[in-house]
Amino acid sequence: MAMTVEQGTLLEQIRVWKEKRNALILAHNYELPEVQDVADVLGDSLALARAAAKTSADVIVLCGVHFMAETAAILNPDKTVLLPDAEAGCSLADSITADQLRAWKAEHPGAVVVSYVNTSAEVKAESDYCCTSANAVDVVRSIPTDKEVLFCPDMFLGSYVKRMTGRENMHIWLGECHVHAGIAPADIADTLAAHPQAELLIHPECGCSTSNMYLLAEGQLPADRTHVLSTSGMLERAKTSGQDEFIVATEVGILHQMERQNPHKRFIPANRKAVCPFMKMITLEKVLASLVEMRTIISVPVETAQRARIALERMVEIG
């Protein structure tokens, strides 16, 4: 898509103000295409956390959702973290509170808590480990097998991890991402029927992931062309695979990078309605305003941040 004059002006102003502020712009793979294009670092939650942890910039502009900005603030207590739209939240992060997690821990004394990065700072502070979809299996495998594991909040990712690790002493919170939960087994079946030679890329948060793992094991899905992957894994697979057609079961924002990196390949969304409204709230205008006006600053109380940092640093180190 050709850039408009207005977008070109905005990009130039963003570049000017980014230099003035000594700022780093981070953007998630699900953001609007033009926001992805303006980012210094584009990636999934783990990639953004790692970039935030090692930057020398004074200001971090996080183009994503609230928990991502909190993560950057926790890992960089001496830097200013900006979220261009303070209302950009996450339905999955909202599915468990710190009080609920404390009550769950009380029911399982001595259990190790693994929280998906899609959680509030308060929940992370009650956790032993954080993880992303890219390293959740590795994180759980790193825990001694005689330890009970409490995994929260995503039940689909948790079910996938439990299946991959074979861990019977793992308990899973019943939370979900409303966008990924909406990608149903029927979506996969219908799209695969229309594109029988396509490679199938499924995010483990999807509502179809558990059933598709079963169908894969039963031989009802093509074993050599079905892959359960994080967003970063999907992007890598799209580049390295010899296939030229892919069915993509995740939020549709990732298609922009896939098409940009692989112009001669075709990417079909499993469900075209898999759009996260929170991820689409940040615009170029809001990115510029955040730099000019230094808004919205995201900070985490010191005690909460110190406790959450332990779990986050373990996440960054593993996998």
Annotated binding site for [4Fe-4S] cluster: 90, 177, 276
Instruction: Kindly report the number of other CB atoms within 10 A of residue 245's CB atom.
Output: 15
d(CA 215, CA 196): 16
| CA angle in degrees (0–180, nearest 5) for 100-298-205 | 50
Binding-site residues? 28, 45, 90, 116-118, 133, 177, 203-205, 231, 276
Binding-site residues for iminosuccinate? 28, 45, 116-118, 133, 203-205, 231
Which alpha helices (DSSP H) does the chain contain, by range? Answer: 5-21, 33-38, 45-54, 66-75, 98-107, 121-125, 136-141, 155-165, 178-181, 185-194, 209-217, 231-240, 255-261, 284-293, 302-317
Letter string b/e over residues 70-101, b meaning 16 or more CB atoms within 10 A of that residue's CB: bbbbbbbeebbbbbbbeebbbbbbbbbbbebb
